Structure 1
Amino acid sequence: MQTAQRNSLRLLQWMMVASLALPLALFVFASAVSWVSIRETADREIERALDVAHEHALKVFETIDRSLSEVAEIIRGVPDADIIAREQTLHLRLKQLVASLPQVKSVWIFDAKGHALVNSLVVPPPAIDFSDRDYFKSHVAGDIGTYIGEALTPRPPYQGAAFFGVSRRRPSEDGGFAGVLQASVFPEYFENYYARIGREPGSYFALGRTDGAVLARFPAIDRDVRLDPNGPIEKVIAANPTADLITVTSPTDGIERRLGYRRLAEYPIYVGAGLETSAIRARWLSTVSQHLIFGAPATALLFALLGLALRRTRHLHFEAEKREAAEEALKHGQRLEALGRLTGGVAHDFNNLLTVIRASVDLLRRSDLPEPRRLRYIDAISDTVNRAAKLTGQLLAFARRQTLKPEVFDVGRSVQTLSEMIGTLIGSRIEIVILGPEEPCFVNADAGQFETAIINMAVNARDAMEGPGRLTIAVGMAASLPGAAPLPQNPYGYVAVSVADTGIGIPPDQFERIFEPFFTTKQAGHGTGLGLSQVFGFAKQSGGEVVVASELGKGSTFTLYLPRTAGGGQSLQMLRADASAIDGRGTSVLLVEDNAEVGQFAADALTDLGYTTRLVGSGAHALEELAAGADRFDVVFTDVVMPGMTGLELAQEIRRRHADLPVVLTSGYSHVLSEHGSYGFELLQKPYSVEQLSSVLHRVVRLRKVRRANAVT
């Protein structure tokens, strides 16, 4: 019961752990899947934004490039003096061009010394030397095509926003350097565009040159930015110069981003687009929080319910333990009552037996006692001892502590053999009906105890009828024990022996007590109350059951169930107390007995029969005697219950050292024997007679001689 309670509490505790662990595991798995999905979604968004930014930048630079080509065609082959002469016309033309290009601040035509010939801003242009600007210096050495310069601030007297130059070389008629055509481009134009398309939190766009100079950026910052050539971004770009998607921490603002970049074809420009990883995590946390909104309350509710169930179960178990304690106290009181009744019954019966023995001994001491009376008193002592041994056996049978001698026998044949004895016991006024089985029913049990159980049930039935009646003994087979489904069943089924009578029946209030020792409804002196208790103990110890069915006024039926066994066997012959003592001349016995009086009695009895006897008081001394010469002895006769080495341990050690030397065990009671049997050794129950002792010793010694003779031949 306590194991079941602990298991149920442990199950609830594990369920509480599982109610948290399982949702947590599912949440972690779902979170991991969600994180991967959101990362993939973010990468797709970055790729799409990068496509848009790349397409936009490419169109802007291609438009500026075409505009510069158009200006170059207008002034192709025109000397600087003619350009100055046409300044007003060219100014208007450049001004119209700039008006059509919102990304362009101004357009300039420079001569070979860096002086402005015409621009789209003012007429005439100021006399300022622009030869130090990168968009001019880059073309002096040779034709490099379209050049995109760094971000610059206007030179006085000009004012306004910062710009970067997009320039081309003016070739002379002989292919030399005639000057530069340049368009000033607004970085703000790109930044404003990126602001319009970068509406997602954490969006990032950048436009930069291949040397690391950043031309435009969103979000914008108030200082010029140039990437470190040895920085993480430049290293990745160097490894993959065309395009890639990376996670990197910006050296400019220290923000980690998921960043994609792509180079513009034919231009030394990179376009970048990305998302802050914190924004990606925020999306993931938003998604995960939705799972928590629904999952956390459900998990908390389940955990709380299981907690309440655990608390309630503990309370119920506590109440059950209190109830069990009360029941145990009641049972303890009942056991004390039963023990008192048992003690009283044993004391009463043994005092009666001892009275007979004491009186017989006192009378035997009289010197003038006639021989017939002396023999009668001796017989009375012998009979009383047998009755005391039977009483002890019945007590051990009820307690399931008697040492059984199982053997295979046919129950039907055994009942037929007993029928004549039963008829004598119950008298001629009661009709006996024996119903045998259709086929042999073999069991492996103690045949003597079985016969005693049948006789006890028959005598109980006789007493219940109190006059004429019918006693029916039926032998049959059953597939299983009644009401024992949870218990392991015998694969061969069971043999059922039922004893039915036509007596007065059993009152319902006595059903629970009929197998109690010394419980009887008979008058004083008409029964010990141990008959049915012997049946109960024998059935339980043999792996069977005994059940009762009764109805007042219609009789009772006692059914004994014993496990059925396959095959048949030869029954062992029981030792008879009235068999004649056998002469033991020529036989040497090693007698092992820790009780000096019992040992001396056995030694004297064997010596009177001609046996050569050596008495020792312990197993250790017995082994010393055998070590000195085991061939001196024909048999070892040892008590089982002894201090130190038990008789059974001694017998097993002798079997190991001297396999040919037979051992006979004797015991009044041993829990080892009752639970495990005699391990194949001969067993003589106490109290034993001299005749029984001589008979068993003679038999084992004779068997030893037969084995030796067979081994020689």
Structure 2
Amino acid sequence: MQRAQRNSLRLLQWMMAASLALPVALFVIAATISYTSTNDIADREIERTLDVAHEHALKVFETIDRSLAELNEVVRNLSDDTIRAREPALHRRLKRLTDSLPQLKSAWIFDADGKALVNSLASPPPALSFTDRDYFYSHIDQSIGTFIGMPLTPRPPYQGARFFSVSRRRDSDDGNFIGVIQASVLPEYFESFYARIGSDPGSFFAMGRADGAVLAHFPRLNHDLRLDPGGPVGQQIAGQPERGLMTIAWPSDGIERRIGYRRIAEYPIYVSAGLETSAIRARWFATMGQHLVFGIPATALLFLLLAFAFRRTQHLQAEAAARREAEDALKHSQRLEALGQLTGGVAHDFNNLLTVIRASVDLLNRPQLTEERRQRYITAIADAVARAAKLTSQLLAFARRQTLKPEVFDVGQRMQSLHDMLATLLGPAIEIVTRLSAEPCLVNADAGQFETALINMATNARDAMQGKGRVIFEVETATTIPDTPAPVSGNQGFVRVTVRDTGIGIPAARLGRIFEPFFTTKQVGHGTGLGLSQVFGFARQSGGEVTVTSEVGQGSTFSLYLPRVPPDLRSQRLAPNTAPAVAGSGMSVLVVEDNIELANFAADGLTELGYNITLVDNATDALAELIVDANRFDVVLSDVVMPGMTGLDLAQAVRDRGIGVPVVLTTGYSQALSQDGAAGFDLVQKPYSIEELSRVLHRAARLRRVRDGAAE
């Protein structure tokens, strides 16, 4: 019970720890999954936003490219003088173009000397040379198609926002360079678009050339930025030149971002979109915060409930411990009362038996005693001894200290063999009903003790019915013992022997005491109170149980449960113990007995039968005798309970040393034998007769001779 209570407290402690550890573990797992999921969602958002930015930039550049191509067609076959002559009309056309395209700041047509023939800003254009601009000198030596230049600041007298150029080469019919057509593109147009689509916190956009020059940036920069092609960004793009994702500290501000980039088809331009990693983590923190809002109160509530249960259990167990102390004190007093009742009952019965023996001895000592009276007194002494042995056996059976002689037998067959005896015991006025199981009901138990238990239950039923009524004997199999902690008995279940009577029944207040020794409701002289105690002790020592149900006026039902054994085992019957004595014919017996009177009795009786007896009063000296010359003895007879080395220790030592002398053990009570059995040695129960002792000794010696002959 105390172990179960400690286990319950330990379980509550584990549950308290688990109420914290498990949510923490689940939170860590959920946080890991959520972190991965948040990053995946952010990557997908970046990819979708990058798709939009890429599509937008592609359309812008394609539109500008088509506009430049149309302007080139308009002035293809016109000389510079003709273009100057038509400058007002061309100026209006360029202005309409720039007004219709918000991404354009201006449009220009240059001659081969880098001077503006016409533009959309001023008419006529100032006589300035633009040969130092990259959008001009890049086309002089060769045709490179559409050129996208660096971010530039307007040259006075022109003013306004910074721009980058998109330009194309003007060729004559023979392919010579005759000028440039150029459009000035506003970076702020792209930045405004990025601001509209990048509403999420931490959004980032950039557009730049393949050489690292940044053309547009969001958030906006107050300075020019050019990425190092050998730096982290350049190395990442060099490894995956078309598109990719990377996490990097952006050079302009040092903020770590998750960035996706993609090249615009047919143009040496990259667009990129991304999110600050701090913003991604903020999303993750927000998600986990929602879990914590519900998880922390629930976990705290569960922990507090378990803590309350733990404290409450401790309190209840403390109260239970106090109650147990009071109950133990009460049980102790009850045990003292039962011990007094037990000793009183034993003293009463043994005094009666000793009175019979003493009176018979006194009468035997009278002179001129007739043979008939002498034999009667001897018979009275023998009967008293048998009754005393039975009383001792019942006491040991109740205490579960009896050395049982188990054998495999069928309970149903044994019940049938006892039918006639039970009929005689119960009397003609009691109807006997026997119900046996159709299948074998084999048990491994002491058959004699089983018959005694059955007779005790039948006698109890007879007395409860006052000699008239009906008793039902039933044998069947059972898987468990109802309402009782069943002893361990393997997988075969139990055999249940039920004795049901129609007697007066047992009051509920007495049901808890009917198995106590010497407790009886019968009149003085009509019962010892040990019958049901023997049933109880036999059942428990055999690994079974006995239960009782009763109701006043409705009779009682006793159920004896014995562990069932597999049906493939066969019954082995013990040899009867009523055969005559066996002559010794010079057989040498080493008798080991510390009780000198009992030793002399055994020696005298065996000597009269022709045995040669050597007496030793302790096991140590007996072992020394056997070591010196074991061939002197045919068999060893040893008491079990002796000071120092016991008889069982002696038998084990003889076996371990390979001494070939058989050992027969004898005892009236041995706790070691009651728990572990006789370890394969022959056993004679005290009190024994000389006839029984001679048979056992002779059988042990004969088995030795047979074994030695087979070995030869």
User: Which residue of the partner structure matches residue 418 of structure 2?
Assistant: 415
User: Which residue of the partner structure matches residue 634 of structure 2?
Assistant: 634
Query: What is the deviation of 1:340?
Result: 2.5
Give me the whole-angstrom Cα distance separating, in 2, the residues matched to 1:126 and 1:349: 147
1:648-687, aligned counterparts within 5 Å? 648-652=648-652, 654-655=654-655, 658=658, 661-687=661-687
Partner SS, residue 535 of structure 2: helix
- CA change 1:153–1:583 in 2 (3 A) is same
What amino acid sits opposite 1:66 in the alignment? R
- CA change 1:73–1:46 in 2 (3 A) is same
User: Which residue of the partner structure matches residue 486 of structure 2?
Assistant: 487
User: Which residue of the partner structure matches residue 476 of structure 1?
Assistant: 474
What amino acid sits opposite 1:478 in the alignment? E
User: Which residue of the partner structure matches residue 56 of structure 1?
Assistant: 56
What amino acid sits opposite 2:497 in the alignment? A
- CA change 1:176–1:660 in 2 (3 A) is same
Q: Is the 8 A contact 1:581 1:694 kept in 2?
A: yes
Partner SS, residue 140 of structure 1: coil
Give me the whole-angstrom Cα distance separating, in 2, the residues matched to 1:75 and 1:437: 126
Query: What is the deviation of 1:76?
Result: 4.0
User: Which residue of the partner structure matches residue 258 of structure 1?
Assistant: 258
Residues 600-628 of structure 1 deviation map (CA, whole Å, 9 limit, x = unaligned): 65445544544233445555655554444
**TM-score, normalised by the number of residues in structure 2:** 0.82
- CA change 1:420–1:679 in 2 (3 A) is farther
Query: What is the deviation of 1:229?
Result: 0.9
User: Which residue of the partner structure matches residue 166 of structure 2?
Assistant: 166
Query: What is the deviation of 1:62?
Result: 2.9
Partner SS, residue 139 of structure 1: coil
Q: Is the 8 A contact 1:500 1:557 kept in 2?
A: yes
Partner SS, residue 206 of structure 1: strand
Give me the whole-angstrom Cα distance separating, in 1, the residues matched to 2:429 and 2:341: 35
- CA change 1:622–1:123 in 2 (3 A) is same
User: Which residue of the partner structure matches residue 497 of structure 2?
Assistant: 496
- CA change 1:253–1:600 in 2 (3 A) is farther
User: Which residue of the partner structure matches residue 574 of structure 2?
Assistant: 572
User: Which residue of the partner structure matches residue 130 of structure 1?
Assistant: 130
User: Which residue of the partner structure matches residue 209 of structure 2?
Assistant: 209
User: Which residue of the partner structure matches residue 226 of structure 2?
Assistant: 226
Query: What is the deviation of 1:391?
Result: 2.9
Query: What is the deviation of 1:496?
Result: 3.5
What amino acid sits opposite 1:397 in the alignment? A
Q: Is the 8 A contact 2:640 2:667 kept in 1?
A: yes
Once structures 1 and 2 are overlaid, which stretch shifts more, 666-675 or 254-263?
A: 254-263
Once structures 1 and 2 are overlaid, which stretch shifts more, 23-32 or 401-410?
A: 23-32
- CA change 1:498–1:420 in 2 (3 A) is closer
Partner SS, residue 139 of structure 2: helix
What amino acid sits opposite 2:631 in the alignment? D
Give me the whole-angstrom Cα distance separating, in 2, the residues matched to 1:539 and 1:413: 21
Query: What is the deviation of 1:213?
Result: 0.4
Give me the whole-angstrom Cα distance separating, in 2, the residues matched to 1:274 and 1:608: 117
Give me the whole-angstrom Cα distance separating, in 2, the residues matched to 1:110 and 1:553: 131
Give me the whole-angstrom Cα distance separating, in 1, the residues matched to 2:555 and 2:268: 117
User: Which residue of the partner structure matches residue 326 of structure 1?
Assistant: 326
Partner SS, residue 226 of structure 1: coil
What amino acid sits opposite 2:574 in the alignment? L
- CA change 1:146–1:449 in 2 (3 A) is closer
- CA change 1:270–1:556 in 2 (3 A) is closer
What amino acid sits opposite 1:135 in the alignment? Y
What amino acid sits opposite 2:137 in the alignment? K
Q: Is the 8 A contact 1:457 1:499 kept in 2?
A: no
Q: Is the 8 A contact 1:443 1:495 kept in 2?
A: no
What amino acid sits opposite 2:168 in the alignment? R
Residues 425-449 of structure 1 deviation map (CA, whole Å, 9 limit, x = unaligned): x9xxx85666566799876543443
Query: What is the deviation of 1:320?
Result: 3.6
Q: Is the 8 A contact 1:607 1:613 kept in 2?
A: yes
Once structures 1 and 2 are overlaid, which stretch shifts more, 662-671 or 521-530?
A: 521-530
Query: What is the deviation of 1:519?
Result: 2.6
Query: What is the deviation of 1:396?
Result: 0.7
Query: What is the deviation of 1:287?
Result: 4.0
What amino acid sits opposite 1:199 in the alignment? S
Give me the whole-angstrom Cα distance separating, in 2, the residues matched to 1:550 and 1:69: 115
Query: What is the deviation of 1:457?
Result: 5.4
Partner SS, residue 487 of structure 1: coil
Give me the whole-angstrom Cα distance separating, in 1, the residues matched to 2:563 and 2:118: 125
1:178-217, aligned counterparts within 5 Å? 178-217=178-217
CA RMSD of aligned residues (A): 4.4
Give me the whole-angstrom Cα distance separating, in 1, the residues matched to 2:249 and 2:95: 43
- CA change 1:54–1:555 in 2 (3 A) is closer
Once structures 1 and 2 are overlaid, which stretch shifts more, 354-363 or 621-630?
A: 354-363
Q: Is the 8 A contact 2:549 2:558 kept in 1?
A: yes
User: Which residue of the partner structure matches residue 101 of structure 1?
Assistant: 101
- CA change 1:596–1:250 in 2 (3 A) is farther
Q: Is the 8 A contact 2:684 2:693 kept in 1?
A: yes
Structure 2, unmatched stretches of 5+, are none
Give me the whole-angstrom Cα distance separating, in 2, the residues matched to 1:165 and 1:280: 36
User: Which residue of the partner structure matches residue 280 of structure 1?
Assistant: 280
What amino acid sits opposite 2:418 in the alignment? V
Q: Is the 8 A contact 1:412 1:441 kept in 2?
A: no
Give me the whole-angstrom Cα distance separating, in 1, the residues matched to 2:86 and 2:509: 138
1:1-16, aligned counterparts within 5 Å? 1-2=1-2, 4-5=4-5
Give me the whole-angstrom Cα distance separating, in 1, the residues matched to 2:246 and 2:124: 50
Partner SS, residue 149 of structure 2: strand
Once structures 1 and 2 are overlaid, which stretch shifts more, 195-204 or 66-75?
A: 66-75
Give me the whole-angstrom Cα distance separating, in 1, the residues matched to 2:672 and 2:3: 27
Q: Is the 8 A contact 2:205 2:271 kept in 1?
A: yes
Q: Is the 8 A contact 1:412 1:437 kept in 2?
A: no
Residues 211-253 of structure 1 deviation map (CA, whole Å, 9 limit, x = unaligned): 0100101111112111111222222222222223333332322
Give me the whole-angstrom Cα distance separating, in 2, the residues matched to 1:512 and 1:653: 46
- CA change 1:282–1:694 in 2 (3 A) is same
Q: Is the 8 A contact 2:145 2:168 kept in 1?
A: yes
1:389 aligns with 2:389: yes
Q: Is the 8 A contact 1:255 1:276 kept in 2?
A: yes
User: Which residue of the partner structure matches residue 144 of structure 2?
Assistant: 144
- CA change 1:207–1:591 in 2 (3 A) is same
What amino acid sits opposite 1:186 in the alignment? L
1:611 aligns with 2:614: no
Give me the whole-angstrom Cα distance separating, in 2, the residues matched to 1:446 and 1:604: 32
1:457-476, aligned counterparts within 5 Å? 469-470=467-468, 475-476=473-474
Give me the whole-angstrom Cα distance separating, in 2, the residues matched to 1:235 and 1:405: 93
What amino acid sits opposite 1:343 in the alignment? T
Give me the whole-angstrom Cα distance separating, in 2, the residues matched to 1:273 and 1:234: 16
Give me the whole-angstrom Cα distance separating, in 1, the residues matched to 2:136 and 2:686: 131
Q: Is the 8 A contact 1:198 1:204 kept in 2?
A: yes
User: Which residue of the partner structure matches residue 698 of structure 2?
Assistant: 698
**TM-score, normalised by the number of residues in structure 1:** 0.82
Partner SS, residue 390 of structure 2: helix
Query: What is the deviation of 1:707?
Result: 6.0
- CA change 1:287–1:511 in 2 (3 A) is closer
Once structures 1 and 2 are overlaid, which stretch shifts more, 144-153 or 634-643?
A: 634-643
- CA change 1:137–1:585 in 2 (3 A) is same
Identity %, equivalent residues: 64
What amino acid sits opposite 1:193 in the alignment? F
- CA change 1:227–1:507 in 2 (3 A) is closer
Give me the whole-angstrom Cα distance separating, in 2, the residues matched to 1:532 and 1:417: 22
User: Which residue of the partner structure matches residue 536 of structure 1?
Assistant: 536
User: Which residue of the partner structure matches residue 242 of structure 1?
Assistant: 242
What amino acid sits opposite 1:161 in the alignment? A
